[in-house]
C-alpha cells in the first residue's frame, strides 16, 4: 500500500491528488484501493485539523446564521430571547446572552451550547 504520514504541505498536496484519483475510480470498501482511500482520508483529516483548524463561530453570528437557514425573523426569536428590543440588543451585541436564553436557543434552534456560551466578538 506504501502510505506515509503527511508531514509537509507537499505531502498534503500529493495525498489530496491521490485521493482525488481514487474517488474518480470509486473503489468498493474493503478492496485494496478502498482501504487506501480510507487511510489517506484519515491522514488528510488529521493534517487539516492540525494545520487548518476551524474556530467555533461567534454566538451572535451562529444565531443570525440559524435565522437565515430557517427563514426566521426577529419576531420568531421573541419567545426564545424576549421582547423585540431585547432581541435587537442581542443581535447588535448590546446585551449578552443569559443562561436562560442560551438554553432556549439550544433547545429551540439546535445551536450547540458550547457555541452560545463563547464570548461574542466585537463588531
In a domain, 74, yes or no: yes
- Helix ranges restricted to H, 1-123: 9-25, 32-51, 59-70, 74-81, 84-91, 99-109, 113-116
Of 96, 104, 123, 102, nearest to 114 by C-alpha is 102
Whether 55 has a pLDDT exceeding 90, the answer reads no
> Do 71 and 89 belong to one domain?
yes
As a whole number, mean pLDDT of residues 89-114 equals 95
Q: Write out pLDDT tens, residues 6-40.
A: 999 999 999 999 999 999 999 999 999 999 999 99
In a domain, 36, yes or no: yes
Quick one: CA dihedral 20, 25, 28, 34, positive or negative? Answer: negative
Cell of 26: 470509486
Residue 66: domain span: 59-116
Task: Indicate the range of 56-60, 94-98, 116-120 predicted with least confidence.
Answer: 116-120
In a domain, 122, yes or no: no
In a domain, 63, yes or no: yes
The total number of structural domains that make up the chain:
2
Whether 46 has a pLDDT exceeding 80, the answer reads yes
The band of 119, judged by pLDDT with boundaries at 50, 70 and 90, is: confident
Q: Residue 122: what pLDDT?
A: 67
> Do 64 and 29 belong to one domain?
no
> Do 86 and 38 belong to one domain?
no
In a domain, 80, yes or no: yes
> Do 16 and 64 belong to one domain?
no
> Do 63 and 44 belong to one domain?
no
In a domain, 2, yes or no: no
pTM metric for this prediction? 0.59
In a domain, 82, yes or no: yes
As a whole number, mean pLDDT of residues 47-68 equals 91
In a domain, 3, yes or no: no
* Mean pLDDT value across the chain: 92
> Do 105 and 85 belong to one domain?
yes
Amino acid at each position: 500500500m506504501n502510505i506515509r504520514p503527511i508531514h509537509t504541505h507537499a505531502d498534503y498536496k500529493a495525498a489530496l491528488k491521490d485521493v482525488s484519483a481514487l474517488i474518480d475510480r470509486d473503489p468498493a470498501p474493503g478492496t485494496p484501493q478502498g482501504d487506501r482511500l480510507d487511510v489517506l482520508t484519515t491522514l488528510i483529516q488529521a493534517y487539516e485539523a492540525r494545520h487548518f483548524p476551524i474556530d467555533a463561530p461567534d454566538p451572535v453570528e451562529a444565531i443570525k446564521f440559524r435565522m437565515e437557514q430557517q427563514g426566521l425573523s426577529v419576531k420568531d426569536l421573541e419567545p426564545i430571547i424576549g421582547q423585540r428590543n431585547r432581541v435587537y440588543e442581542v443581535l447588535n451585541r448590546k446585551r449578552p446572552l443569559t443562561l436562560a436564553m442560551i438554553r432556549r436557543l439550544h433547545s429551540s434552534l439546535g445551536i450547540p451550547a458550547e457555541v452560545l456560551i463563547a464570548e461574542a466578538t466585537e463588531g
